Structure formats: structure tokens, C-alpha cells
Amino acid sequence: MDLPQLEDLGPVSGKRVLVRCDFNVPISGGVITDDLRIRLPLDTLTWLLDQGAEKLTVCSHLGRPKGKPDPRYTIAPVRQHLYELLAARGADTSRVELLENLRYDAGEEGNDPALVASLVENEDLYVDDAFGAAHRAHASIVGPPAFLPSAAGRVLAREVAVLDGLLANPERPFIAVLGGAKVSDKLGVIEALLEKVDALLVGGGMCFTFLAAQGHTTGASMLEESQVGTCQRLLASVAASGKRILLPTDIVALSPGGTFGAGKEPDGEVRQLGPDVPDGWTGLDIGPGTAAAFADEIASAATVFWNGPMGVFEDPRFAAGTKAVAEAVASAKGFTVVGGGDSASALKQFGLDDQVDHLSTGGGASLEFIEKGDLPGLAALRQAADRARA
């Protein structure tokens, strides 16, 4: 994908640059618990400063304050941490300003021209380094490229290059592992991946709709009855194409009335079952047999893409399947890509986040890119480049 790069901006010296980052980091009690999204754009920011930019106006969203100021989502902790990281690199932080949370203004998510005008006022250049927000047609993403010479930052360019290569020319066998809750949320991604992969491994809540499509009972497990027919169609089409969809052959389930989840006291009996879940029981993880089979597939792959946990990994009783997949991806000899979101959280929980080839900063953005082959933020940058060449 022919995105304009930082070097395409021309002379940066003496210019004022608006930089969109994705600093949507987890914060607990005012403390940043994972600063990856703050550390990654440092290469972009320091390059601009080293090239002599007069000022960098950096902007980001944080959480969901719903269009109005909310102290729970102030960007102040991020600002302090960013300045400390830049200073540690010897950067002149007096030339860097991080604006308050963009989503304090309802115009950000509404792509309000007034907010766009205020962002680009007195700016000379625009750099988008927020891959995690590139699938949103928000003011700070698609607005500035219409008015300023624009380019992709290092994070955004790297994300697109990896995903573009993953889809265009993957080494084979190419294995994708998908988890998460609903088939309907990932139907477009499933269909897009089935055109590319040699095998698709399905876990998480969505596996039960596929299992139902094969005639298995699912008890009280997550089930999208409206998608059972869709899953039957997908299974039939894969069988005809010679590709494979691998589903769980065993399930870890919780007894009727049992409790799980954040803020709840764990309760109930946990059992390992076959692919059929009895009435009242809730499947919450893939079983050890499935985990071993998935790990074997991942080990034999030349390319692996993983997005979505295999179960409710936040609960230790239902974390084994996700941990097994995470360990298999981390130790795989092939090229490994993890699509952000809960998968990235799982890798971090198990201490494996530095053992994959590419860990995406945007779960939703990576999935939409795989499904559609483009994102609003990327299209805006290309259009800016086309205008510059015209």
C-alpha cells in the first residue's frame, strides 16, 4: 500500500507538525499499567525533532468520555510519562505539546469540521501514527490530511506493511487462530481469511455457533442462533475448497449457577467435556486436547495470525486454552502476528508479549484491514499524497 512516509514530507526544519498518536493506554488509580502505545511512537516524534521541527502538537484519545470532560479520562498521566520518555532520549520536550483528550470534544467522533479547523490552525504538516484509530473516520484522523501535507508515522507504516504482506504473500502453511465472542462480529474477517489461509482454528465464544452448526449441543454457552446457517455454509465451502476449519473437540465448562467474570466470586463446578455441552452448563474455554491440537498446527505453520482469546482467560480456571495458544505462538518458528486487543492482553498476562514477530497496536483496526483491505485513515493519507503530486 503506497502510503506517504515521513521522508515524503519534504523539509521539516522550522515547521509546526500536528501528530496523531494512539495513547489509549490502560490506567489504574492514575498509574499507567502498560505504556507500549506511548513508547512505540517515540521514533516518529524524535525523528521529527531531529529534523528541526519547530513544534510538535501531539494529540490522542483516551477511553470513552462521551464527548465531554471527565477527570477519569484526563490525558495528564500520559503527558507526564511521554515527556519523561522523550527527555530520556535527549529530546527537547519544550518543543512538544500533548493536547488534552480529543474525545472531550464530541466533534472528534462526529468528524466535526470545526474541530478539524481548530486542529490544523497554525500547523504546517500532519503525521498520523495512530494505527489503533485508523479504522475510525474521526476528525483527527481523516480531517487534517485534507488541509496539510501528510504522512504515516513509523508505527502506522510498520503496521500496514506487516498486515499487507501477511495478506498479499504469506509463507505457507498460513494458519489463522480466531477467538472472541461472536461470529457476527468477525464474519467479514472469517470470510476474508478463508480466502488466504490454509487452516482456520476457531476458539472462544464463537466456536459454539460453529459446533451447533455441526449438530453439537451447546448448553448455556454463548450461541448466535441466527448465525448457525452461516456457519454451516462456511463449513461446507471450506470442505469443498480443500482448506480446513478446526473446531474444539473438548471444552472446559462451568456447572449451572456457577459464577465467573470480573467482580464476581468464582463459584461452581468446572468439568472437561467433549464437544457437546449439557443443558445448563456453560463452555468457557477450549479443552486440553484442543489446545494441544491447535499448538501442533501453530508449530507447523510458516505464518501465524492470532486474534481473540480461546476462553475467559481473566479467570484462572478458564485460562489454560488461551495460555497454550499464546505459548505456541510465542515459540513458533514461523512469522507470527498477533492482532492486538485481548490477544495482546493475554500475551502480556503470560509474559510473552516480547516473543512474537509483530504485536499490533490495534485489534479492531487490524481486523478491519484484513476484512476490507483499507481503512479511512489510510485512504485519507493517500488522498493527501495524490493532491500533493497533482
Question: Half-sphere exposure (CA, 13 Å, Cβ side) for 390?
Answer: 7
Q: Quick one: pLDDT at residue 111?
A: 97
Cα–Cα distance measured from residue 293 to residue 287, given in angstroms and rounded to the nearest whole number: 10
The tally of domains found in the chain comes to 2
Alpha carbon distance 45, 91 (integer Å): 9
Pairwise CA distance, residues 307 & 346, whole Å: 11
For position 51, what pLDDT does the model report? 98
pLDDT at 340: 75
Picking from 128, 70, 125, 121, the residue whose alpha carbon sits closest to that of residue 100 is 70
Asked if 119 and 260 sit in the same domain, the reply is no
Q: Which of 308, 326, 361 is nearest to 25 (CA)?
A: 361
Assess whether 180 and 134 both reside in one domain. Answer: no
Catalytic residue, from 107, 179, 283, 364: name it: 364
Catalytic residue among 321, 341, 362, 377: 341
Same domain, 135 and 238: no
* Strand, helix or coil for residue 323: helix
**330-366: burial string, b at 16+ Cβ within 10 Å, e else:** bebebbbbbbbbbbbbbbbbbebbebbebbbbbbbbb
How far apart CA 65 and CA 103 sit, in angstroms, is 6
Strands 251-254 and 282-286: antiparallel
**pLDDT of 48:** 98
Q: Which residues contact 232 (CB under 8 A, 6 or more apart)?
A: 213
In a domain, 298, yes or no: yes
Tell me the β-bridge partners of 238: none
Q: Which contacts (CB < 8 Å, 24+ apart) does range 345-352 have?
A: 346/309, 346/313, 346/322, 348/34, 349/313, 350/323, 350/326, 352/326, 352/327
Q: Which one from 16, 67, 110, 182 is the annotated catalytic residue? A: 182
Q: Do both 55 and 12 map to the same domain?
A: yes
How many Å apart are CA 223 and CA 206, to the nearest integer?
Answer: 7
Residues 210 and 259 reside in one and the same domain? yes
Asked if residue 1 belongs to a domain, the reply is no
Q: Is 37 among the residues known to form the active site?
A: yes
- 8 A C-beta contact, residue 137 and residue 368: no
**pLDDT score recorded for residue 185:** 87
Alpha-helical (H) ranges within 97-250 are 113-120, 139-142, 154-168, 183-194, 207-213, 228-241
Say yes or no: 203 and 252 in one domain: yes
Confirm if 267 and 174 have CB atoms less than 8 A apart. no
Q: What is the dihedral of CA 151, 152, 153, 157, to 10 degrees?
A: -150
pLDDT at 386: 85
Residue 254 CA to chain centroid, in angstroms? Answer: 29
352 is a domain residue: no
Residue 242 pLDDT? 84
Q: Do both 326 and 178 map to the same domain?
A: yes
| Apex 242 CA angle, 236 and 246, nearest 5 | 70
Q: What is the CATH number of the domain that holds 97?
A: 3.40.50.1260
Grid cell 478446526 — which residue? 246
Which pLDDT does position 198 carry in this prediction? Answer: 95
Domain range for 186 is 172-333
Give the integer Cα–Cα distance in Å for 138 and 106: 10
* 358-359 and 335-338 beta bridge pairing: parallel
- Do residues 208 and 250 share a domain? yes
pLDDT mean for each 10 residues of the chain (390 residues): 93 98 93 93 98 98 96 97 98 98 98 98 98 97 98 97 91 95 89 94 96 97 95 92 94 96 85 97 98 98 96 94 97 93 87 92 90 96 87
Residue 208 shares a structural domain with residue 60: no
The model's pTM: 0.91
In a domain, 271, yes or no: yes
Whether 182 sits among the annotated catalytic residues: the reply is yes
Q: Which residue among 37, 154, 186, 323 is the active-site one?
A: 37
